[in-house]
Amino acid sequence: MSGARETALKALYEVEKNGAYSDKALKNALRGGALAPTDRAFAAELTYGVVRHKSRLDFIIRNYSDQRLKKLSVWILNILRMGVYQMIFLDKIPHSAAVNEGVNLAKRYGHEASARFVNAVLRAVSRGGDVKCPSLNIYYSHPDWLVDLIDAQYPLECKKILAANNEIPAVTVRVNTLKTTSGALCDALTKKGIEVTPRGELLEIAKFGDIAALEEYKNGLFTPQDKGAYLAAAAVDPRPGELILDVCAAPGGKATQIAEMSGDKAKILAFDLHAHKIDLINKNARRLGINGITAICRDAAQPDPQYIAAADKVLADVPCSGLGVIRKKPDIKWRKTPGDLKEIIALQSAVLDSSARYLKPGGILVYATCTINKDENGGVVERFLQTARFEKLKETQLLPHTDGCDGFYICKLRKK
């Protein structure tokens, strides 16, 4: 697995040195390589594992190192992180393999002194083991401000939320009911040796490389989708003949779900601010065999006069901090700041106000986010209801540790 370790190291270098997102850095590091599927999976495990547990790994390294981490090169620091991650978090990797492969990488990306240093630190960790962490932010590897926010808003569940953020989420897919059934898709995937478990309206797929490479995906029989996102779109409850707006639609997961739920008989306008994302919506609709979606390049925060009071239903899955999807995108916890949250709340309010203007009297507005931050969720809705002639029908906050899905907020409103 030396190739997998080197691939992960290259990805982590791009994350640390050049500010790349871990998923894109890993994809680039894997490109053109000849790694076996098991090695590709191991490279992903190392990359995301180090990003998830960075604070705790660094704390352990400090306890066994006589050098300050700031003086280490990015290469050597991440070699140490990968080695410690394997020994602390991966039961099936022998400590000797983690040490030896770390030393080999240090020789390649450093010098003899670097290799001796890596050898000494990793052998010390192998002998001494884990180190007791003094605080939640170190043990669960979250920035201080985020631990404080979660503790203030969810005091009884703080540790469980922090722990859930570091878990590897299951892969779930939505069956395209326009083309197949849940049972038929389960049978087709099972025949290929893929472990599939029905989860309500979704299917959970055991670890299987790149599911987009499957013929069933290419033929439009399913779409990857989390339970939280599925429930947000399902709250729209689309009916044939309705005009439905999805105002922040790219890449089209929820718009295509709404189309499928209506039997492709609703008229759906899918807005997005960026032209290249309009292409993504159209591409997904074509793959799934959907005809009822019209994708339009439009700023969701600025109402379009031609659709004022015209829509039966509107889905506003607004831009947010993403604090509910840290399991899938661990970079989020290291990149977001409290200042980012304040800016995004202003945008959310603008999108909600604009979306409300599109509805007919009695129309339904679904406001959704993929965050657990209450200020972006109920806080935005309550401010909206102070001036808007709407009534709240249902409000749901999904949490990873209780609902087995992304942290999603869904609020269903009706125009009076």
Q: Which residues of 91-101 are buried (b: 16+ CB within 10 A; e: fewer)?
A: eebebeebbeb
Tell the burial category of 22 from Cβ atoms under 10 Å away from its Cβ (0-12, 13-18, 19+). Answer: buried
Would residue 370 show up in a list of annotated catalytic residues for this protein? yes
Measure the N-to-C terminal CA separation of the chain; round to a whole number of Å. 62
Task: Provide the 3-class DSSP secondary structure of residue 385.
Answer: helix
Q: For 265, left (φ over 0), alpha (ψ -120 to 50), or beta?
A: alpha
Contact call for residues 370 and 322 (beta carbons, < 8 A): yes
DSSP label of 320: -
Place of tokens 């969810």: 154
Cα gap 258→253, rounded to integer Å: 9
The angle at the Cα of 250, spanning 246 to 253, to the nearest 5 degrees, equals 80
| Of 214, 245, 383, 259, residue with least CA distance to 316 | 245
* Residue from 248, 370, 405, 411 carrying the catalytic annotation: 370
Please give the order of strands across the beta sheet that includes 409-415. Answer: 293-297, 267-272, 243-246, 311-317, 359-369, 409-415, 390-397
Cα gap 12→382, rounded to integer Å: 41
Contact call for residues 164 and 327 (beta carbons, < 8 A): yes
Q: Which residues of 29-47 are buried (b: 16+ CB within 10 A; e: fewer)?
A: bbeeeebeeebbebbbbbb
Q: Is the dihedral of CA 404, 196, 201, 225 positive or negative?
A: positive
Displacement of CA 268 from its chain's centroid (Å): 25
Displacement of CA 322 from its chain's centroid (Å): 8
Contact call for residues 255 and 269 (beta carbons, < 8 A): no
β-sheet bridge partners, residue 199: 202
Instruction: Provide the annotated active-site residues.
Output: 370
